Amino acid sequence: MRYTNDGGQNPRLKVLDQLLVPHEKVYIDVPDVKMAYTVIKTMQIRGAPLIAIVALLGLSVDMNTNAHSIEELDKIDGDATAILLWIRDKMEYLKSSRPTAVNLANALQELDKAMEEAIKNMSGSSSSTTTTTKEVLCKVVLDYSEFMLERDVNDNKAIGKFGAEAILKKTGKDKISLVTICNTGSLATAGYGTALGVARSLQKMEKLESISALETRPYNQGSRLTAFEILEEGMPGGQLICDSAAGALMQTKKVDACVVGADRVCANGDTANKIGTYNLSIIAAFHKIPFYVAAPITSLDITLESGKSIPIEERSSEELISSSKAPAGMPCWNPAFDVTPDCNISGIITEKGVIYPDADGKFNVKAFV
């Protein structure tokens, strides 16, 4: 992603088209909310934290630089309720792009609070300022989207550190062999990565022996994106395995831990992540290999008691047909995510530390937020 803001209130956003990585590096200009929605929906950018960041930066670029939006906002300037409604309408549109990851919904909720607060402060202020409602809210959206960008990298570094320490302690090993699924690295976040950030931290500590990446059918985020990041970082023992080789790997080779990302973690620890994660957790449980979820607090959804209520995105048959070379017209079921039950999870690694199950084996995610 390329984000610039010269002049203080002139944000510009370009995103790397992840559908073309690793073979081509093409950047797409995101001048408005419509394009932010499109790049998310079509998976030109993906990864729960990055979806939230691109949506918010897209909103900020739209409000601050898009001529049509500026004109619309100018017309209703001074009417705080009308401006709020205008922004909330865009927020709802962005939120409808992909339903499973909760990071975007959480970010928009936080932003909404910041906007309400700013409006309250404006009406309470006695100073004879010439700043208009529109200017104030454009600045709130801009500041908040930039804050998210910065916070995500710092959070990921903390996740990496806590995760590496937890895995070393749990396994008692000096060198760790990991398995991961999907892409949770710099490409899925503002930088560093969540689950792949844990691998990065182990590598920095010279404690990473190997990392096996699943290809992650049908979109192949593992074979295209994680493989690319593993090679770029020169991670020791980096290798690609097909999704169905995970069992054989655990049966015949050294695997010390699995570490995966998350799109939504419920109050009881149930975790939605890329389709195939549930299978991986079952194989890991069978082989008594610790299984960690690495995710920022923004991926936690304590309003849902269990994974049964997580909306699971189903994508088109065409995507599965083209990637699997199935005959055209073949009916498909193509869920993008599955839910790993709490009982298969050893720990949830966040930037505030690791959430472990209690003595009864139950997670209390609420207590952590």
Ligand X SMILES: CSC[C@H]1O[C@H](OP(=O)(O)O)[C@H](O)[C@@H]1O
Using CB under 6 A as the binding rule, whether residue 180 contacts ligand X is answered as: no
Strands (E) in the chain, as ranges, are 2-5, 11-16, 27-29, 176-180, 208-214, 238-241, 257-260, 264-266, 271-274, 291-294, 300-301, 337-340, 347-350, 353-355
Draw the binding track, 2-41, toward ligand X (x: CB under 6 A; -: no contact). ----------------------------------------
Euclidean distance between CA atoms 64 and 144, whole angstroms: 13
Euclidean distance between CA atoms 58 and 200, whole angstroms: 29
Q: Which of 220, 221, 271, 281 binds ligand X (CB under 6 A)?
A: 221
Q: Which of 16, 39, 47, 57 binds ligand X (CB under 6 A)?
A: 47
Using CB under 6 A as the binding rule, whether residue 212 contacts ligand X is answered as: no
Q: Which is nearer to ligand X, 55 or 115 (CB)?
A: 55
Which residues in 153-185 are b (16+ Cβ under 10 Å) and which e? bebbbbbbbbbbbbbbebeeeebbbbbbbbbbb
Euclidean distance between CA atoms 339 and 308, whole angstroms: 8
Residue range at the interface with ligand X (CB under 6 A); choices 9-17, 20-28, 45-53, 116-124: 45-53
Using CB under 6 A as the binding rule, whether residue 350 contacts ligand X is answered as: no
Q: Which is nearer to ligand X, 114 or 320 (CB)?
A: 320
Q: Which amino acid is at 108?
A: L
How are the residues of the chain apportioned to helix, strand and coil, as percentages rounded to the nearest 5?
50, 15, 35
Euclidean distance between CA atoms 16 and 6, whole angstroms: 20
Choice among 62, 155, 243, 263 that is catalytic: 263
- Tally helices (H) and strands (E) across the chain: 12, 14
Q: Is 6 a catalytic residue?
A: no
Count of residues that bind ligand X according to CB under 6 A: 16
Residue range at the interface with ligand X (CB under 6 A); choices 42-50, 137-145, 243-251, 327-335: 42-50
Euclidean distance between CA atoms 118 and 115, whole angstroms: 5
Using CB under 6 A as the binding rule, whether residue 347 contacts ligand X is answered as: no
How far apart are CB 360 and ligand X at their closest, in Å?
28
Using CB under 6 A as the binding rule, whether residue 227 contacts ligand X is answered as: no
Omega prior to 218 cis, within 30 of 0: yes
Residue range at the interface with ligand X (CB under 6 A); choices 128-136, 144-152, 182-190, 205-213: 182-190
Closest CA to 253 of 207, 276, 230, 287: 287
Draw the binding track, 291-320, toward ligand X (x: CB under 6 A; -: no contact). ------------------------------
Q: Which of 16, 35, 36, 49 binds ligand X (CB under 6 A)?
A: 49
Q: Which is nearer to ligand X, 40 or 255 (CB)?
A: 40
Q: Which is nearer to ligand X, 59 or 275 (CB)?
A: 275
Query: Where does this chain bind ligand X (CB under 6 A)?
Result: 46-49, 101, 182, 184, 188-189, 194, 221, 261, 263, 273-274, 336
Residues with catalytic roles: 263
